[in-house]
Amino acid sequence: MKVYAVDGVPPEIQAYAMAKYSRSSRSMLESIGELSAQRAEAFLNTFYFQYGHRSIADLAHLALAIEDVSILAAARVVDEPLWDGQERSTRYQPFKNTGYFTPPELAGAEADGYRAAADAAFAAYDGLTGDLLGLLVDSVPRPEGLDPKAFERTLRARAFDVSRSLLPLATITSLGQVTSARVLERQISRLLSDPFPEVRGIGEALRQACLAPAEDPRRDGDTDDGRGSAAVAPTLVKYTAPSPYLIETRRELALIADAELAGVGPPERSRAVELADDETPTDEAVATLLYRWDAAGHSYRQVQAMVRALPEPRKREILELAVAHRGPHDELLRELQVGYAFKFDLLMDYGSFRDLHRHRRCVQIIQEPTPDHGPEPAAEILPRAFGRELAGRALAAGLGDRYDRALADGLAATRALAGPVPLAAPYLLPLATRTRALFKMDAAQAAYIAELRTAPAGHFSYRRVAWEMYLALRERAPHLAALAHPTDPAEPIDLLHR
């Protein structure tokens, strides 16, 4: 037996060397030793592009940094099922001086109004953070032996749990990702097809990063520019381009969803978690397609009920439309992944949704951001964050009114911008704004999310959502739910437990 690690090999050469295992008796080190970038390119052109052995690209992994982008754009970057990475945390880092993205299409009065609204949101965030921290430091006894700096740092994270809700989606963030070239190829094409110009720009920047030599922090900055000599993955991404399939299908399905759901009534917003009813695979596929592109934001159960009443020929028409523009290399839409036993329709604040968004062992169908779902008021948020006694002090001090007023101002600015510049308006949405997403999964993943995301150290918002997911699972499949060990978020809060 021989097991060894390999380091310092460019991704495409590494993919070539691993793929050679099925076509050669040579060891990996021997294969790498005889390879060059030119031979790797010739191999990939033949087997990857010509013969369609796309799994070869799974063997080339790339680490990429995506810095100084908006939270709105970052969420669309990471919306990839086979994705590994981390984004800058709004729980553990102050965002006071981070700044915000301004869409370049803004000009004149709209640009001035946008900046005024974003500046006001950041000022409200900074002020509320300081006042909440002061309240917590004055109210929470510091245990003997706990370092004062650690004590304050822990309570500051608790303050951020509330104050981050005021930050707009325009807030600048950064993330790092490690993906296979196959995932990256799909990700780039998806981003290049996105309606938001900033997101399309990220897609092109990712493509260019693969065509250029990688940054190497180990190199001596005095002798070179810190870059390697070879491009990262020039062959595997050379055909990435916007996807007509995604663009045209998105446009047509949005029109159909608008027409079919026009008579359903107002969206149901009373529940944070709703476990969908059972349905046929055909109904699930049609309902998921319409749910995804429903601009009004109806619940999945509302869409399910409408789809059940549709004539069978109409259902087939919608399914056929979902593949009408599909090219020979296009994968089926994510919305067509059906057959999962548990489908949770979630309506939760955008800030905490980003944490659940990190779960990859499920299918996530995310509606577009809208101000219409609104936020939850401080009177409901603060008791979940701090417990009733401390929440009462915060409300008595006027901090709840400031929280609600800042959110109302952010939503008003969003709506004012939606008419003249619709693709700029969502950037002003506060992180407290609720968003709707459908999570499809098996029982094991539902139990895992319930157990992990109800842990006392978690954010109070997603703890509540995960607990309600558990309750729904327990009602539907009690014996499977009994395998999980979640923590009831209604239990007394220890603000110093992280």
**177-197: per-residue pLDDT in tens?**
988 888 999 999 999 999 999
Tell me how far apart the alpha carbons of residues 32 and 123 are, in angstroms, rounded to a whole number: 55
pLDDT at site 51: 45
**What integer is the mean pLDDT of 356-381?**
96
> Alpha helices, DSSP H only, in 165-299?
181-192, 197-211, 244-260, 281-292
Tell me how far apart the alpha carbons of residues 75 and 87 are, in angstroms, rounded to a whole number: 9
Tell me how far apart the alpha carbons of residues 314 and 307 are, in angstroms, rounded to a whole number: 10
**53-81: per-residue pLDDT in tens?**
566 667 778 888 999 999 999 999 999 99
Tell me how far apart the alpha carbons of residues 53 and 44 are, in angstroms, rounded to a whole number: 9
Classify residue 30: in a domain, yes or no.
yes
Nearest to 206 by CA among 229, 243, 176, 226: 176
In degrees to the nearest 10, what's the CA dihedral of 75, 198, 256, 321? Answer: -90
pLDDT at site 118: 98
Query: Where does residue 374 fall: left (phi above 0), alpha (psi -120 to 50 degrees), or beta otherwise?
Result: left
**82-93: per-residue pLDDT in tens?**
888 989 888 778
Classify residue 8: in a domain, yes or no.
yes
For the cut 50, the answer to whether the pLDDT of residue 487 exceeds it is: yes
**112-140: per-residue pLDDT in tens?**
999 999 999 999 999 999 999 999 999 99
Classify residue 125: in a domain, yes or no.
no
**143-165: per-residue pLDDT in tens?**
988 899 999 999 999 999 999 99
**214-250: per-residue pLDDT in tens?**
777 766 554 455 555 667 766 767 778 999 999 999 9
What is the span of the domain harbouring residue 6?
A: 1-59
Rounded to 10 deg, the angle between the 388-396 and 399-418 helix axes is: 70
Classify residue 443: in a domain, yes or no.
no
Say how many domains are in the chain: 1
pLDDT at site 223: 47
**What integer is the mean pLDDT of 82-111?**
90
> Long-range contacts for 328-331 (Cβ within 8 Å, ≥24 apart)?
330/243, 330/245, 331/186
Write out the E strands in 350-475. Answer: 363-366, 434-441
Written as six digits, the tokens of 214 are 């990688």
pLDDT at site 28: 72
Query: Who has greater pLDDT, 483 or 91?
Result: 483
For the cut 80, the answer to whether the pLDDT of residue 104 exceeds it is: yes
SS3 category, 482: coil
For the cut 60, the answer to whether the pLDDT of residue 351 exceeds it is: yes
CA 290 remoteness from chain centre = 20
- The pTM (predicted TM-score) of the whole model is 0.91
Classify residue 265: in a domain, yes or no.
no
The answer to whether 168 touches 429, Cβ cutoff 8 Å, is yes
**What integer is the mean pLDDT of 355-377?**
96
At CA 75, angle to CA 426 and CA 351, rounded to 5? 75
For the cut 90, the answer to whether the pLDDT of residue 452 exceeds it is: yes
Nearest to 132 by CA among 105, 165, 109, 104: 165
**What integer is the mean pLDDT of 322-333?**
94
Q: What are phi and psi of 454, to 5 degrees?
A: -100, 0
**What integer is the mean pLDDT of 8-20?**
72
Nearest to 301 by CA among 352, 247, 264, 332: 264
Residue 463 DSSP class: H
Classify residue 51: in a domain, yes or no.
yes
R_g (Cα) of the chain, nearest Å: 25
Classify residue 349: in a domain, yes or no.
no
For the cut 90, the answer to whether the pLDDT of residue 492 exceeds it is: no
Written as six digits, the tokens of 482 are 């009994």
Classify residue 162: in a domain, yes or no.
no
Per-chain mean pLDDT for the chain: 90
Residue 278 confidence class, pLDDT cut points 50, 70, 90: very high
Query: Who has greater pLDDT, 298 or 28?
Result: 298
Nearest to 273 by CA among 448, 90, 446, 457: 446
**Of 5-9, 98-102, 265-269, 354-358, minimum mean pLDDT range:** 5-9
